[in-house]
Structure 1
Amino acid sequence: MNKTLTAIATACTFALGAPAMAQDLQEIDVLTPLPRHTAWYPLLVGEALGYFADEGISVELVNGGDLPATAFLENGQVQLAALDPSEVILAHERGFDFDVVYEVMHNAVEGIFVLEDNEAASLADLGGTTIGIVGESDRGLLLSALGHAGLSEDDVTIAVLGESAPLLANSLSNGQVSAVVGAISDFVAIRSQGIMIRSVLPDEMSKMPANNFAVRGDSIGGENEELVQGFLRAWAKSSYAGLVDLETTRAIAMEADPENWINEELGTIFLQAAQNLHRPEADVFGDVRHEIWSSVISEMVDVDMLDATFPAEEILNDHYLAAANDFDHAEVEADVAAWKAENM
């Protein structure tokens, strides 16, 4: 994920009505792979609409740098950490007690991109072709996807292309490769060259959760109970608010994350892709989907990343979901409309 979204933004906070005094807010430390960024628009929207302040919270983002993200959670340096499934699962195998309490992104941040007019209906139709990967870190995703599609590494030729937007786009448009495996930033990079693409990542992989909020298992019900509960409710409200009106969310993101909005058209493409990541399957924001996690655990065993399967319930916890989703959608829609009327 770190290579996925690399732009650095400066924080800019807005509020509807009278803002809460800073000294009245309790700080919550959250480990994320990015600073305030369009990809994390719920934070930007929540600060603009005052939802975190309403909960008596100020959000401090912690950058883990090169250290394992799980170390910050284990050492108590943060109350929550955004972790990918493999990080949580491998930590469990090492004996750490972490619980995923909220799925931040309900869809995979990666894709296997083909030209929009490509006749391939699925990845299975790309057997015998050359598939490009942006970098070596994308090879594992491709191999796993091939397995889901009934293919193997021997059925395709893999070419490492690098991150150059013109090269990725040209490789697709001139037929050098049939597909490019990369992340959301690579999708935007190819689109920036005027190339229309779609993803053929197998459905069961496209639902892979990413950047899930995890807590120490022994912290649930402890001294930070109300702090975490308030944060997750503000996050869920903000996630919904960011889906209500694209123009409003775009205006908030442009102000808070200007470096990703030098080109407004590309910024909009990026924002819409981010919205698709944060949009839940049903109406439950943050829903921890046990069946998806069980599939991930099994697949990690199949590719020898994990020694043995275990029940997904050992790392998933629905404890905060009811409170997180305890907000009125109509009121949020009214908040968005009010902000738009006042600021646009």
Structure 2
Amino acid sequence: MMKTLISAALLAVCAYSAQAAGLVVQLTGPAPVRFAGYALAEARGYYAEEGLEVALRRAEETAPFEALARGRADLAVGTLPVALLAREHGLPLVNFAQPLAQPALRLTCLDEAGVKGAADLRGKTIGSRFDGQELALTAWLNRLGLVDDHSPAGVSVLRQWPDAADMLRQRQVACIVSHSFAAPPGPGTVTLDPAIQGAEVLEDGLYTLQENLDDPEMRERLAGFLRASMRGWREAARDPEGTARLILGPDPDEGVLQRRIEELRGIAALLSNSGRLDEAGYRRSVDSLTAGGPAAVLRDAPRGAFTHAISDMAAAQGQDGDRSAATR
């Protein structure tokens, strides 16, 4: 996945001209709760109230930042480790907002595997999806002084099955990567939080290319998109059942519906109020990603990788009263 993304990053960035007041947004996935706020903003007409025609592209074959690199999107939802690694390899990505203010990544481990805390991970096998989340996991392991070398002194990281909990049930791994907003696999497990080791890494943020931030008209669109999106996220937090029904469609399976409601309640606790990136959280993330010597995710701390200009513009225009979405 990372080779594909980096290859895309090294392509000449294609010129992309959206229609007037139009924005193409590449979402991340596959968990639907991760794009619930955007779907709700679209369904309620919040983007239209900002004068925007927004096309939300679900994550399928195209990785979020590959869509930007290939000129197929104006902005993308993606995780900080992947964004900074792509930037390090030449793609001029800039974070202009951080709707998910707190990281959700966790490890869920079997009690019987002898894992009571992060210190017990040595020699264990861990399941992880290789869609970018392995970078945050690597940063955490680096903090613990553990290397993925399949040795008794390190750890073994395997590709996680679609039904990750089944890997635990079948004792294929001692731990799986999980998220704080998802229900745990069941009894007999313990959940580990990277924040205990100071290894938390920010996840879903909004990214665009530097050339878009140099365009005054595009900056206005991005600010409007952020206002409407945060309005959608706040409503999703207030009404998790209604939002779950929206993203699932008519006549959803009752069990799936209840799981989505609980996930939305969990993700509500992670949301930013305005979408403005917390610089302290960003610095902690970069510290984690640059730790680990030769095994570090990033070689160096990036420069110019984020801006507050768009979130500050969105807030200022809302305070001035010329955008109703920001005040509702």
Aligned residues: 294
2:85 aligned residue = 90
Aligned residues with identical type, % of pairs: 15
Gaps of 5+ in 1: 2-24, 336-344
1:167 and 2:161 correspond: no
In structure 2, C-alpha distance between the alignment counterparts of 1:105 and 1:196, rounded to whole Å: 29
2:221 aligned residue = 227
Q: What TM-score comes out, normalization by structure 1 length?
A: 0.68
Q: Is the CA contact 1:113–1:197 (under 8 Å) kept in the aligned structure 2?
A: yes
Q: CA deviation at 1:296?
A: 4.4
1:265–1:116 distance in 2 versus 1, CA, 3 Å? farther
Per-residue displacement from partner, 1:190-232 (whole Å, max 9, x unpaired)?
Answer: 54xx548553132066642223211111222413222111001
Which range moved further: 223-232 or 85-94? 85-94
Q: Is the CA contact 2:93–2:207 (under 8 Å) kept in the aligned structure 1?
A: yes
1:299 aligned residue = 291
In structure 2, C-alpha distance between the alignment counterparts of 1:254 and 1:210, rounded to whole Å: 25
Q: CA deviation at 1:234?
A: 0.9
2:311 aligned residue = 321
**Superposition CA RMSD, Å:** 4.1
Q: CA deviation at 1:129?
A: 6.6
Q: CA deviation at 1:48?
A: 4.3
Q: Is the CA contact 1:111–1:199 (under 8 Å) kept in the aligned structure 2?
A: yes
Q: Is the CA contact 1:129–1:156 (under 8 Å) kept in the aligned structure 2?
A: yes
Q: Is the CA contact 1:45–1:249 (under 8 Å) kept in the aligned structure 2?
A: no
1:219–1:166 distance in 2 versus 1, CA, 3 Å? closer
In structure 2, C-alpha distance between the alignment counterparts of 1:157 and 1:271, rounded to whole Å: 32
In structure 1, C-alpha distance between the alignment counterparts of 2:51 and 2:188, rounded to whole Å: 44
In structure 2, C-alpha distance between the alignment counterparts of 1:44 and 1:54, rounded to whole Å: 15
1:198–1:322 distance in 2 versus 1, CA, 3 Å? farther
Q: Is the CA contact 2:82–2:135 (under 8 Å) kept in the aligned structure 1?
A: no
Match of 2:245 among 236, 249, 254: 254
Return the letter of the residue paired with 1:50. Answer: G
In structure 2, C-alpha distance between the alignment counterparts of 1:276 and 1:115, rounded to whole Å: 26
In structure 1, C-alpha distance between the alignment counterparts of 2:277 and 2:305, rounded to whole Å: 14
Aligned residue for 1:240, secondary structure, equals helix
Q: What TM-score comes out, normalization by structure 2 length?
A: 0.71
2:193 aligned residue = 201
Q: Is the CA contact 1:134–1:163 (under 8 Å) kept in the aligned structure 2?
A: no
In structure 2, C-alpha distance between the alignment counterparts of 1:314 and 1:333, rounded to whole Å: 27
Q: CA deviation at 1:159?
A: 7.7
Match of 1:267 among 260, 264, 272: 260
1:122 aligned residue = 117
Q: Is the CA contact 1:82–1:211 (under 8 Å) kept in the aligned structure 2?
A: yes
